[in-house]
Amino acid sequence: MDRWQAALDTALSRGGRGMQKDMNRAIPCYVGGKGMYATATTREFKVAVIGLLEESGLGYDTRYRYYRRQFPAMEPQQLARMICDPIEIFDRDWPNWRAAQAPSRDEAELITAFFLERDARFRDEAQAAIYCFDEAGFGSGVNVMRFIGAGKPILGFYRRDPAERRVNVGNFLQLHMDYPTLVTVRAYQTPDDILSEARRWLAALPASR
């Protein structure tokens, strides 16, 4: 985790100053991966990529920017980590939204409905997606296909070392083979590999419309 910590601290400690340099170049992105039950592998990936986007001026994570408005005084690193948690834990609109629903409604359905509205907003605003495939499950697969259906490019990462993998690599390599113009998949060894490749990939995309 030390290498992750160095990568994300360097990026997020600058507090988005890169964004101030070139607002017109910033590409709205959806930083994704396993959500509920994700381990530090996925969570630190998301935090580091959010940091890269904020520091570089090449893009921004749509979820992070939304919750920056809800939590304007929160430290960038804290906010980036918080939004990796289930939405009902931290979203300030959830308690009032939940109270307005019928008491008899199933709690899991309510949480899903609230999450789906928010997540659809983040996906719709995004023009590209950057994914951690290391722990990707059914939910990640559904979202990736949503981006493919919308014709939005995806950059996905997985661990190079087979001993550290917890998923079937062939599942997402198929996406690249079926949709080579939309899906880019890269193996990584260190966090720096991810940040360097993400920077190159973003720089090659058309600027935000």
Residues of the chain whose pLDDT is less than 70?
1-24, 162-165, 207-209
Q: Which run of H or E residues covers position 155?
A: strand 154-159
Give the pLDDT confidence score for residue 76 in this predicted structure.
94
How high is the pLDDT of residue 20?
A: 44
Q: What is the pLDDT of residue 118?
A: 97
Structure pTM? 0.87
DSSP-based three-state secondary structure for 168:
coil
pLDDT in tens, 179-208: 999 999 999 999 999 999 999 999 999 865
CA angle 159, 164, 168 (to 5 degrees): 70
Please report, rounded to a whole number, the percentage of residues in the chain having pLDDT higher than 70. 85
**pLDDT at 161 (0 to 100):** 78
For the chain, domains (ranges, CATH) are: 2-204 (3.40.50.450)
What pLDDT sits at residue 124? 98
Q: What is the pLDDT of residue 35?
A: 76
pLDDT of residue 122: 98
For 2-68, give the DSSP string.
Answer: HHHHHHHHHHHTTTTHHHHH-GGGPEEEEEES--TT--HHHHHHHHHHHHHHHHHSSEEEHHHHHHH
HSE-CB for 132 with a 13 A CA cutoff: 27
